[in-house]
Structure 1
Amino acid sequence: MSKKSTHINNDTYLAKWLANEITDPQLKKLVTEEDFMAYKKLQRGISLYENLENVNEDAYAELKTKIAAKKKATIRTLYYKWAISVAAVAILFITLTTTLFSKTTVSKTTGYGQNNTIALLDGSEVILNAKSEISYREKQWKANREIFLKGEAFFKVTKGSTFTVRTKNGSVTVLGTQFNVKSVSDYFEVICYAGKVKVTTANHKEYILHPSEGFRKINGNPLENLNENSPKPNWLSDETSYKSVPLKYVLKDIENQFDVVFDTNSVDVNALFTGSFTHIDQEIALKTVLNAMELDYKIQTNKHIVLSKK
């Protein structure tokens, strides 16, 4: 029998053995002792895989399919044995990665113009503003109340261990309180509505906020004395308010609420805006902001709005 035909038969035997179509004693009669020991090592790796929580059945099936498909291969026996070992390592890596990360991380997102209220495992509550995302490790929640945020969210935190919100611009740490966090591009804002929060910026500076106090950092420039008299963020009532915020961030919020895109090539997007806009009506929102900034607008398509000076 040629090496090629032996290799093909071995592939077939391995596939049948993994599928429990032939027994160990039968396999030992069909392959060499060296091959049989290599197959047993592979089987032990797969057994470990099957015992892990939240197994990835698709990955396992894919492995067996690839092994069976090797019947048409013409590679040398040495390379074949090496490939079997690599396959075993790969399946274990896929499983561990999936189990330890993908299966334990919960993500919640919102689309254009959407809000979403999420109840956390400890009874805390998160309300996501439009085009925002949070993620947290569910299985580690009791030991580590930590959330990763992109966008804007309002938090009602139950008392307990430290609760941390992490963003690319900084983090917020509390024990039990209510606060709002906004982290978009180079804009970072935190407002405390109840209790006390600690803000840590990306360059490790810390700020303590009490009720009605806020912190804002835009393009690296902090504004430490930001006062807020409302009992909760206005966006929870379908309105977004600003105090001396560059226009480009206001326009980005409008884009997130109404799924539009602004052409700002002819206007000063760094001009400061103070005011608010409604989330209910696009036309009213545009007129409220743009009239205050003395700008005209032209809707070229349903999603493309060109701005110009009056």
Structure 2
Amino acid sequence: MLIIKAKWFSVKKSLIRLHPISRFLCHKSEMTEQAKNKWEELAAKLHGEETDSSVQFEAGDEDLKISQQILDARDKVAKLRNLKSTDKAWREVKGNMKNSRKLWLSFAKYAAVFVVAVLLTGGLFLIQSPSEMPNTFACISAPNGQISNVTLFDGTNVWLNAGSNLKYKQSFGSENREVYLEGEAFFSVTKNKKIPFIVHAGNSAVKVHGTQFNVKAYQSEPVIETVLVEGQVEFMSDNNDVMMKPGQQLLFSRESGNVETKQVNTDEFTSWKGGKIYFDDETLQNLTKQLERWYEVSFTFENEKIRNYRFSGVINKDRSLEYTLRIIQQINKVKFETNKEQIEIMDK
């Protein structure tokens, strides 16, 4: 059984889902945007949260019968949790849902895998046959423009920055605690001396037993960054094994394998969870990469010189893109030409 819990938070008096539980099997067919939206609304209802959209979903959606089947399935699955045989439980769930298979596939657009989604003790569960999918990975993603907060099966809390993906095997928690990161994430790891928690990022890994740390490993960036907030972690690569101490930042070059460590103010590297990012003498090229992920836009440069202009300051995600661009213009002698989601940066 795979478990994931999604959390909510309020920004400007609006209830916003931190990545709308885009929890999926890595090899599944793509869901339509409409289907995804329906799942988000249904998840809100199951979780006990009420939103305007979920009320509309209740009132008139033609697929309401499917959501009712899921709600009815709660009690069935609760009973199945007491069965000793996982395969036996799977067969019974499969039999109970046989009649709704056609409607389910129409609604959720799953082409290869049949799963049952139900709510148990506040989380969204995906139940699947262990014998049918022994090596399946579960994937969690935070699309551009969103920040995700999820709780893994072992109790570890993970924040995913925009444009990030995290995956792990379905045996996570019982046999291993290994995750694979593309992008940026903050981990608050539940202690377990018997099963260490390992974050794989590119050609490196971070091994811990229980601690708080941040890893930044976007594929488009040449350096993998680890910042330790508390506890102790071991950074591992082909050429280096480094034990980090709280307050340290470690920079690892993907190309050369070189490692550099220094003391930093960790708040400046974890504040993105609250929608703030600190930049200290950062190039405009690196700055725009973060803006692209946060605001779902694309930047181009009039010439190569502009890429290396420097910026120091704080960017707030709750501020509009237009406001942020005005601040950058005041610090650097640049101007912006906007065409929908395409923004060109030019010299004044």
TM over 0.5: yes
RMSD: 2.7
| SS of match in other structure, 1:283 | helix
Q: Give the 3 Å change call, closer, same or farther, for CA 180–306 of structure 1 in structure 2.
A: same
CA deviations on 1:66-113 (whole Å, 9 max, x unpaired) are: xxxxxxxxxxxxxxxxxxxxxxxxxxxxx99961223xx211001121
CA distance in 2, matches of 1:251, 1:208: 32
Partner of 1:137: 169
Structure 1 portions without partners, runs of 5+: 1-50, 58-94
Partner of 1:194: 230
AA partner of residue 206 (structure 1): D
With CA pairs under 8 Å and 6+ residues apart, which has the higher RCO, 1 or 2?
A: 2
CA contact (8 A) 2:228 2:266 kept: no
CA deviations on 1:261-304 (whole Å, 9 max, x unpaired) are: 001242432444433312122122223345434321111x2200
Q: 1:126: how far off? A: 0.4
CA distance in 2, matches of 1:243, 1:233: 14
Identity fraction in percent: 25
TM-score of the superposed pair, with normalisation by structure 2: 0.56
Partner of 1:286: 325
CA distance in 1, matches of 2:254, 2:281: 14
Asked if 1:237 is matched to 2:274, the reply is yes
The equivalent position to 1:210 in structure 2, one of 245, 252, 256, is: 245
Q: Give the 3 Å change call, closer, same or farther, for CA 229–130 of structure 1 in structure 2.
A: closer
Q: 1:242: how far off? A: 2.6
| SS of match in other structure, 1:100 | coil
| SS of match in other structure, 2:293 | helix
AA partner of residue 188 (structure 1): I
CA distance in 2, matches of 1:140, 1:219: 27
CA contact (8 A) 2:268 2:278 kept: no
Asked if 1:297 is matched to 2:336, the reply is yes
Between stretches 191-200 and 273-282, larger displacement belongs to 273-282
CA contact (8 A) 1:240 1:278 kept: yes
TM-score of the superposed pair, with normalisation by structure 1: 0.63
Higher helix share: 1
Q: 1:218: how far off? A: 5.4
Q: Give the 3 Å change call, closer, same or farther, for CA 143–97 of structure 1 in structure 2.
A: closer
CA distance in 1, matches of 2:294, 2:268: 22
Q: Give the 3 Å change call, closer, same or farther, for CA 159–303 of structure 1 in structure 2.
A: same
The structure with the larger Rg is 1
The size of the alignment, in residue pairs, is: 218
| SS of match in other structure, 2:171 | helix
CA distance in 2, matches of 1:241, 1:99: 43
Between stretches 260-269 and 285-294, larger displacement belongs to 285-294
Q: 1:245: how far off? A: 3.6
